[in-house]
Amino acid sequence: MELSQCSKSIFFLLLMVLFASPSSSSSSSASSSFSDSVFDSHGSTGRNLLQAKKACPVNFEFQNYTIITSQCKGPKYPPKTCCAAFKEFACPFADVLNDLTNNCASTMFSYINLYGKYPPGLFASACQEGKKGLHCPATPPPHSPDGKI
């Protein structure tokens, strides 16, 4: 069975979540990051893909994706602009995105791709900063319309 390009992208994003290094346990740290290792190809993932994940405590369905969709536009999708917009959106959620026990990263990327109709792997290829992933400056916790984080 051949996977579609979209399925491959989601699979690689899920891998990033599975192999991401945990962020620091202190939420008051000066900065954080979220791992880009989800974009790496890791051969076999074993049982991890079959294990149930906790629901994400952030309701990504109702987040405002305008920061990404208004700045990261095709057909060229400028990497600097797209990555900056992606980080502005995602960094406030770094702690939950790095939590390997929930489905936050895959849920977030599903909505980013739904609302932005981006080519598979766009952010994986455009947004790479180092071994620890993307650097996130200290940011206050995000606010959402439904009162959840």
What backbone phi and psi angles, to 5 degrees, belong to 31?
A: -155, 170
Q: How confident is the model at residue 19 (pLDDT cuts 50, 70, 90)?
A: very low
Considering only CA atoms, which of 102, 1, 113, 30 is closest in space to residue 68?
Answer: 113
pLDDT above 90 covers a percentage of the chain that reads: 44
Contact yes or no for 72/116 (Cβ under 8 A): yes
d(CA 40, CA 78): 21
d(CA 144, CA 63): 6
Using DSSP, state whether 117 is helix, strand or coil.
Answer: coil
Q: Which residues contact 73 (CB under 8 A, 6 or more apart)?
A: none
The answer to whether residue 55 scores a pLDDT higher than 60 is: yes
pLDDT digits (tens, 9 = 90+) for 115-126: 999 998 899 888
pTM of the model: 0.62
Q: Where is pLDDT greater, at 44 or 79?
A: 79
Question: Among positive and negative, which fits the CA dihedral 88, 92, 97, 102?
Answer: negative
